[in-house]
Amino acid sequence: MHRIQQRSRFRRKLLAWYKTSQRILPWRQTHDPYAIVVSELMLQQTQVERVIEKYQAWMKRFPTVRSLAGAPRADVIAQWQGLGYNRRALYLHRIAKTIVSDFGCVFPQTVDELVQLPGIGRYTAAAVVSFAYSAHEPIVETNVKRVVGRIFLGYKALLHAPEERLWRVAHELLPRDRRSYHFNQALMDFGALVCTAKRPRCEICPMQSICASYPDILRARPEQLRVKKPVYEKQYFGHPRRIWRGKILAYLHSPNAKHGATESAIGKAIQNDFSAQRLPWLRSVIFTLVSDGFVQYKGKRVVLFKT
């Protein structure tokens, strides 16, 4: 099949599928760039189901970029609790302060300007201009990589495909009319609901006749279905350091640590078998939180950074 014909058929099939199968998500009910930035940072490395409730609570607590910019850092982190990767909350706070102070509360409308903001990369910037401003801009995130890569490159080639090649294919696929907003949303939904990571639902897939992976993908080994190589995280007492960071912050936000806590108290709160021999390790984890601006020392107590 000719490449242009194949891509035209893919657009038609995808948009037809989307009309009847799209997910109803709260951040799709708005074109407010602030709300879309919030949703995109929350969705990084976090499942949609976990994000929905946290997104709604966040928008109730900080409904505008100005309200977020004026909030104490501790309140921002507290509102983020439960999502993990707490650095994203600090990015949001810094973004809000920058938008208020440097842009008069108006978000930039181009990818080049948006990627200058803290915590915003190429995908997030593209998502904002596409979903807030309906710009003709492709997006490439994990679901999109999987769909585009499997259908147009083949699942065996996907693991080794350069990122720039996937962006190029996504750009070539993008409709040249006002449907690009729905097309980008459809790509993500298709990857989440049909062309899934571990068990693609090829039996119901409308792309069988144009997919470079079908039917061989039905016999693929799990490691062949990855979009990217797994990243190993060093373990400390059964968890990577980021998990212990999250546990420390969760404890410091609890009523039991209203006025902060000593290192020993923190250790006993986050580990049932904590001992004094682990204090140097615990202190090294706390220092990373100090460096990132989450906590500070006041005497011998660790307290949340308030400003």
Q: Active-site residues: which are they? A: 40
Token pair of 211, please? Answer: 């997919």
Which residues have C-beta within 8 Å of that of residue 24, sequence separation ≥ 6? none
Token pair of 39, please? Answer: 């949703």
- Whether the Cβ atoms of residue 161 and residue 153 lie closer than 8 Å to each other: yes
* Torsion-angle region of 106 (φ positive above 0: left; ψ -120 to 50: alpha; else: beta): beta
CA pseudo-torsion sign 298, 301, 306, 307: positive
Amino acid identity of 276? Answer: A
Tell me how far apart the terminal alpha carbons of the chain are, to the nearest angstrom.
60
Q: 295 phi and psi, to 5 degrees?
A: -135, 170
275-292 b/e with 16+ CB inside 10 Å = b?
A: eeebeeebeebbeebeee
- Whether the Cβ atoms of residue 150 and residue 195 lie closer than 8 Å to each other: yes
The span from the CA of 304 to the CA of 253, in Å, is 8
Q: 9 phi and psi, to 5 degrees?
A: -65, -40
**Nearest CA to 288 among 238, 253, 249, 260?**
249
From the CB of residue 23, how many other CB atoms can be counted at a distance below 10 Å?
Answer: 12
**Nearest CA to 274 among 247, 299, 242?**
247
